[in-house]
Chains A and B, each alone.
Chain A
Amino acid sequence: MNQVEETLRQEVAKLLEDGTIDVFVGHEAASLPLKTSPCFVRSPKEVDRLVWNRICTSNLATYLPQLFKRPVGLKGEWTPPKVGVVAKGCDSRSIVGLIKEKQIPRDRLFIIGVGCEGMIDRHSVGRALGVVGLADAKVDGNSVQVIGTDGREKRIDIADVLAASCRECQHREAVLSNLTVGEAPSSAPEVSHYANVAEFESKSPQERWEHWVGELSRCIRCYACRQACPNCYCEECFAEETAPKWLGVTTDLSDVFVFHLGRAFHQAGRCVDCGACVAACPQGIDLRLLNQKINKDVEELFEAQVSLSLEEAEALSSFRMEDDQSFMTEP
């Protein structure tokens, strides 16, 4: 057990014992190697389920809004629970966003911030293995020792299988917390911010089109990307609305494009680049490129990044006289 994990468990036990929180949302080990699962701890006796490691990839903010929803059909009084959550930089920014969008109440949240050195992308490990599966893996310092289902062993540098979002992450510590655990993260981002977008922008329109046709023809409309995204909390998504019906149910490119472009626009000025959509996709589609393009535009047009504090107004939900207006057309 590492130091952070130990302290985290102790702190959570205390919070549950003294009634500061009713439930804590963290990560626990999953049965497959290099995978964790979100975990809801309600008693101090259960804190040993909590883990902290290089595979705590899920953005836990996604699980918060549902905890504050009044159970359907419940009669009489209901008090929303007091919820604790462990947050990396990205989780904390999503939490800030959700608080500002009034999906979760700040005063019923206890956030434990943890500095993050970046999470391993399981898909990248899979790609390093080729067509065989991952039988076992052990993270050891800056590398991970993997064993394929064919019995072959391989040592991989974590730097080579880091999630793309983590590679470029500029906010590795929680931007909002009640308590922080562990040391400040050491490593600085390796790759310059928006490197992927810049590269994509340098391509010809034809190449860009071909790229997305290739990517989106893989999409099976499972909506894992949307469901894993903390910003996609809508009770009824536009993709499934029937009146009006914005898109069809097929995997025809036109339907798939409308879904992904629509979702990307709904993320404008809201996406914190946590990479949850990319990690969730069973087809390995890099949706991040789409959202990062919009993030880059927001940053360039409004000199603002998404959800860095509770106080500052978000770029797309506020208006300043000096805001860029070049995109406006004459009425």
Chain B
Amino acid sequence: MLEMTLDKSKVQEFLRLLGQNRRLFAPVKDRMGTKFSEVADPSLVCLDGLNTNLSLKEVVFPQWETLYTFEEDQANEVKLAAQETLLFGARPCDARALELLDRVFTWEGIDDPYYLRRREKTCVVALACNTPGEACFCSSVGGSPVGEVGADALAFDLGKQLYLRALTERGEALLKEASTLTEKATEEDKQAVQQAAAEAEKQLQPVPIPEDLAALKESFDAEIWEDLGQKCLGCGTCAYVCPTCHCFDITDETKKGVGRRVRSWDSCAFSLFTLHGSGHNPRTTQAARYRQRVLHKFLYCPENFGEAFCVGCGRCITNCPAGLDLRAVLERLGSLAKVT
């Protein structure tokens, strides 16, 4: 596979070149650290931050979108065209999350056209992490600060230059577009990359992940849920900042016979999430809702998709207004799972 280096003074030119034929998304400075946003001016791109405060799932799975419009009894399709898109500087955890989202939106052979139209046009250049954030635990959930899953190319910040490695054909084609700006990676560069990778992995604290699914199932009535759930405020923060949370709601908006059907993010922490039309709510307590969030990720998703739906990005931890820490929860669950 193609391996090359790009002098950091040329990053802007590189992005300008690649941005000519596609939409460009990259981290830019924000009052909450950095945010992933569409950039017209590459000079705004900031590659020095941690993972962005909000995840990049918005690009392929927007917070809300119109599924179709209607008028009296006539439904009108919305055009499913999406533009070529480059996600540059996504952290490896976020890139891996896209691979997990793919499994949901193609589950059991049913393709979600709304998701796929964007996803299929998306090329991801991930940026390996030299220094993890305060709540990162990717390596404990099967990822890595230098992970390649979900990315078309992987970049390393080597100080004066970026090292770039193509991982897929799409990534290779992309890098070739800018070959006038890059150089072939030397043996020395490759060694530097290996060293950076080893350094990054070392900095992460391991979190014990409960993998005994039968024991997790047993935990359903455990006290821990009441204990944690009573702290939970029932907001949508953890789900909305999470790169793998994918629940949505579908609502009709009508005005005088004309309207649209909208899909929008939803969160299992909301009390209305499971409210039935009859008024019955099967999840009566916040404890039950908090349990759902954790077990969905670490029990039901492994059952349905073969993997836990957490990439260890730490966003739910840094942003939880109640100070709940998923790592601590997993640790407690793990010890519980061992005993039972």
CA distance A56 to B306 in the complex (A): 41
**Residues from 50 to 79 in B contacting A, C-beta threshold 8 Å:** 50, 53-54, 63-64
Chain B residues within an 8 Å CB radius of A36? 323
CA distance A131 to B325 in the complex (A): 22
Are B135 and A32 in contact, with the CB atoms below 8 A?
yes
Nearest-Cβ distance from residue A236 to partner chain B, whole angstroms = 7
CA distance A185 to B131 in the complex (A): 41
Chain A residues within an 8 Å CB radius of B281? 72
Which residue of the partner chain, among A126, A127, A279, contacts B321 with CB atoms under 8 Å? A279
Task: Take A32-B135, A249-B262 as given contacts and tell me if A38 and B319 are in contact as well, using a CB distance cutoff of 8 Å.
Answer: no
**Residues from 129 to 174 in B contacting A, C-beta threshold 8 Å:** 131-135
Is A37 engaged at the interface, CB distance under 8 Å to the other chain?
yes
Which residue of the partner chain, among A63, A236, A280, contacts B235 with CB atoms under 8 Å? A280
Are A32 and B325 in contact, with the CB atoms below 8 A?
yes
Are A227 and B233 in contact, with the CB atoms below 8 A?
yes
Are A35 and B323 in contact, with the CB atoms below 8 A?
yes
Nearest-Cβ distance from residue B233 to partner chain A, whole angstroms = 4
CA distance A131 to B46 in the complex (A): 9
Are A32 and B317 in contact, with the CB atoms below 8 A?
yes
Chain A residues within an 8 Å CB radius of B324? 37
CA distance A240 to B270 in the complex (A): 11
Q: How large is the interface on B (under 10, 10 to 19, 20 to 34, 35 or more residues)?
A: 35 or more
Q: Closest B-chain residue to A23, C-beta based?
A: B230
Is A220 engaged at the interface, CB distance under 8 Å to the other chain?
yes
Contact with A along B207-237 (1 / 0, CB 8 A): 0000000000000000000010011011111
Is A132 engaged at the interface, CB distance under 8 Å to the other chain?
yes
Are A284 and B32 in contact, with the CB atoms below 8 A?
yes
Nearest-Cβ distance from residue A58 to partner chain B, whole angstroms = 7
Nearest-Cβ distance from residue A286 to partner chain B, whole angstroms = 10
Which residue of the partner chain, among B29, B64, B272, contacts A251 with CB atoms under 8 Å? B64
Chain B residues within an 8 Å CB radius of A39? 231
CA distance A40 to B223 in the complex (A): 13
Task: Take A38-B231, A72-B285 as given contacts and tell me if A131 and B63 are in contact as well, using a CB distance cutoff of 8 Å.
Answer: no
Are A132 and B50 in contact, with the CB atoms below 8 A?
yes
Is B302 engaged at the interface, CB distance under 8 Å to the other chain?
no
Which residue of the partner chain, among B32, B234, B262, contacts A123 with CB atoms under 8 Å? B32
Is B13 engaged at the interface, CB distance under 8 Å to the other chain?
no
Nearest-Cβ distance from residue A34 to partner chain B, whole angstroms = 10
Chain B residues within an 8 Å CB radius of A251? 63-64
Chain A residues within an 8 Å CB radius of B231? 37-40
Contact with B along A118-152 (1 / 0, CB 8 A): 00000100110011111100000000000001110
Is A109 engaged at the interface, CB distance under 8 Å to the other chain?
no
Chain A residues within an 8 Å CB radius of B319? 282
CA distance A300 to B102 in the complex (A): 56
Are B133 and A133 in contact, with the CB atoms below 8 A?
yes
Is A187 engaged at the interface, CB distance under 8 Å to the other chain?
no
- Which among A30, A130, A220, A224 has the greatest number of chain B C-beta atoms within 10 A? A224
Q: Closest A-chain residue to B264, C-beta based?
A: A249
Prevailing SS type, chain A contact patch: loop
Is B274 engaged at the interface, CB distance under 8 Å to the other chain?
no
CA distance A142 to B165 in the complex (A): 49
Is A2 engaged at the interface, CB distance under 8 Å to the other chain?
no
CA distance A245 to B321 in the complex (A): 28
Is B318 engaged at the interface, CB distance under 8 Å to the other chain?
yes
Are A126 and B32 in contact, with the CB atoms below 8 A?
yes
CA distance A284 to B321 in the complex (A): 12
Are A240 and B272 in contact, with the CB atoms below 8 A?
yes
Q: Closest A-chain residue to B134, C-beta based?
A: A133
CA distance A123 to B31 in the complex (A): 9
Task: Take A37-B323, A58-B322, A221-B236 as given contacts and tell me if A126 and B33 are in contact as well, using a CB distance cutoff of 8 Å.
Answer: yes
CA distance A259 to B65 in the complex (A): 19
Is B335 engaged at the interface, CB distance under 8 Å to the other chain?
no
Is A209 engaged at the interface, CB distance under 8 Å to the other chain?
no
Chain B residues within an 8 Å CB radius of A127? 31
Task: Take A131-B29, A221-B63, A250-B262 as given contacts and tell me if A30 and B325 are in contact as well, using a CB distance cutoff of 8 Å.
Answer: yes
Contact with A along B321-332 (1 / 0, CB 8 A): 111110110000
Contact with B along A270-288 (1 / 0, CB 8 A): 0000000001101110000
Is B284 engaged at the interface, CB distance under 8 Å to the other chain?
yes
Nearest-Cβ distance from residue A50 to partner chain B, whole angstroms = 14
Are A220 and B235 in contact, with the CB atoms below 8 A?
no
**Residues from 220 to 274 in A contacting B, C-beta threshold 8 Å:** 220-224, 226-228, 236, 240, 245, 248-251
Chain B residues within an 8 Å CB radius of A224? 233, 235-237, 321
Is A182 engaged at the interface, CB distance under 8 Å to the other chain?
no
Interface positions of A (Cβ within 8 A of B) = 30-33, 35-40, 58, 62-63, 66, 71-73, 123, 126-127, 130-135, 149-151, 220-224, 226-228, 236, 240, 245, 248-251, 279-280, 282-284
Pairs across A and B, CB under 8 Å, 14 listed: A31-B328, A32-B317, A32-B323, A37-B231, A37-B323, A71-B284, A131-B46, A132-B49, A133-B133, A133-B318, A149-B50, A227-B321, A249-B64, A280-B233
Interface positions of B (Cβ within 8 A of A) = 29, 31-34, 46, 48-50, 53-54, 63-64, 131-135, 227, 230-231, 233-237, 240-241, 249, 251, 253, 262, 264, 267, 270, 272, 281, 284-286, 317-319, 321-325, 327-328
